[in-house]
A and B are shown apart, each in its own frame.
Chain A
Amino acid sequence: QKEVEQDPGPLSVPEGAIVSLNCTYSNSAFQYFMWYRQYSRKGPELLMYTYSSGNKEDGRFTAQVDKSSKYISLFIRDSQPSDSATYLCAMSSNSGYSTLTFGKGTMLLVSP
Chain B
Amino acid sequence: ETGVTQTPRHLVMGMTNKKSLKCEQHLGHNAMYWYKQSAKKPLELMFVYSLEERVENNSVPSRFSPECPNSSHLFLHLHTLQPEDSALYLCASSQEVSGIYEQFFGPGTRLTVL
Contact = CB atoms under 8 A, between A and B. Distances in A.
A32 interface: yes
A101 B45 CA distance: 8
Contact of A99 (B4, B41, B56, B107): B56
Interface in B19-59: 31, 40-43, 45, 48, 55-56
Contacts of B102: 46, 49
Contact of B42 (A45, A97, A104): A104
Contacts, number: 57
Main secondary structure of the interface of B (DSSP, over half): loop
B97 A45 contact: no
A94 B45 CA distance: 15
Interface stretch (B66-74, B76-84, B88-96): B88-96
B56 to A, nearest CB: 6
Interface residues of B, number: 26
Contacts of A103: 42
A88 interface: yes
A42 B94 contact: no
A43 B100 contact: no
Interface of A: 4, 6, 8, 32, 41-46, 49, 88, 90, 92, 94, 96-105
Given A43-B4, A97-B98, A98-B101, 7 more contacts: A46-B102, A94-B100, A98-B97, A99-B45, A101-B42, A103-B42, A104-B41
